[in-house]
Structure 1
Amino acid sequence: MTRDQVDCIVRFHDINRLRELDRCIFSLVGQRYRPLNIILALQRFSAAEIATVREALAPLLAMPDAPQLTICNLEQAVPQDGRTLLLNMGLQAATGRYVGFLDYDDVLYPEAYETIVARLRETDAAVAFATVRVVSADIHKLFIRVVSEMKEPFQRGDHVIDLFRSNFCPIHSFLVDRNKMSREELFFDTALTWEEDYDFLLRICARHRSDFGLISTRIGDYYFKNDGSNSIPTDGIANPAQQNAYEKVCAAIETRRRTMLVSPGVQAENGIVPPQPGMTIRSFLERFGHH
């Protein structure tokens, strides 16, 4: 494990979205924190497409003190939606102490990793959370135009109890300290293609200390786009197939709450002394009621 390095896993699945990827990587090149390794997880790209990606990013990565770039390519044919597999592939390639995530169509501010790594070191937490600004954007062939800032599109929260209740933490709003947990704990459930990051956080935060001291600090932007390319529709779930898929995801998340045990350490940090054996996330929530 490379001491103090941040590995940022970037998922990318569509060669036609290079302009958005370029903006994403630009935000990582601009990070004040070093050492930084960008793990670009590609979904079934041809050799020619991989070469195109390298060529497109070369000017950014040739800048002085640019981050390292590691490219991984998912080749297996199934499942068709490989977004969870891309995350696991990126985790397998990670070599640094800290790991974060950033999708190709979002960005981080220059101080993002510097700020959140400092918080992890200060608190000795396994995962530290900040927040991101959410913007509505028009996607054009040659440029992307931010139309407006969206007001509170995610539910609000500032505590692990709130996180156990609902997901208010976008995937690029947190960093994980790999020194605090086993390699076997760091995986995404491949049965999920929505809320895979929330399931990941439920498992990590049930076992290890989490910190929300930066939850009011914005470290990046999350783009809701007008071209329908967000993984979750920006205008809501409209068709029966999407509704059925969403209901299955909700059931899987609730199963996780009812089966995932909360560690004695997490219980103690929240005032449950002595720790209760067999306490699940669901029983933990029932203990606190309406926090």
Structure 2
Amino acid sequence: MTPLKTIIVDDEPLALQVLSACLAEFPDIEVVAQCRNGREAIEATLRLQPDLMFLDIHMPGKNGFEVIKALQNDVMPMVVFVTTYQQYALDAFDLHAVDYIPKPLDEERLARAVGRALERFQSTQARGELKQPLIGAIDDLLQRLSDNADSAPSVNSAHSLSDAKLVVRDAGSARVIAQHTIDWVDAAGDYMCIHAEGETHIMRSTVKELVAALDERLFRRIHRSTIVNVERIASVQSLSKGDYLVLLECGEQLKVSRSYNEPIKQLLKKL
């Protein structure tokens, strides 16, 4: 069959690069555009009329839900949401036969999403019938988020960064840490060191698991084993060969791994 014309949408340059590289492994997928915000996604959809869209939900400006609602039925592609929402909310997508991939990207889940898209494309369902199930899934999801406000933020709410918490369990006790107080995090074997307000808290976790638990608006990876609170960055120094050194308000200096240089460049444009 002819490869599905696909566009990918994410405001994180590194996320776009990773997703594009992964999709290149599927011969039935042809990435025809990469978009960094909702406006670009709408323009690319109207211009290219793709068959499939991988769409990040949380983006500045128009979020993923608003992109869907802005598109007309006659240009509506199949959609795979890329999201950090918890499982109870994501069930809404399955109920409406809309696929999703949790962040961080999982290759097995990506393969499943591609397989579902190919099956759906080959089915007799008209493309123009896709929008109403999507709208229903969105409305259902937002209702669930509203009903469970204590455990998950809504993309359309005035959710404060200071509300996000991280629970660190150790030897039968649990310490609740406000995420906005965390300066940085680094890995030590099978454990993560959480540096907050002059203290270091140790929790058993992988970097991947911790990234999923932290507020994506507040934290960025600068190394495969280091995460920083972007609001704690005092300055960024350019080193030789295109490397960077991040200086935090607490005085800590952290080197940026070269593979994470581009996200830091993009972050500096927003600061």
* TM-score, normalised with respect to structure 1: 0.27
Judging by fraction of residues, say which structure has more strand: 2
Structure with max Cα Rg: 2
TM-score (norm 2): 0.28
Q: Which has the higher contact order (CA 8 A, sep 6+)?
A: 1
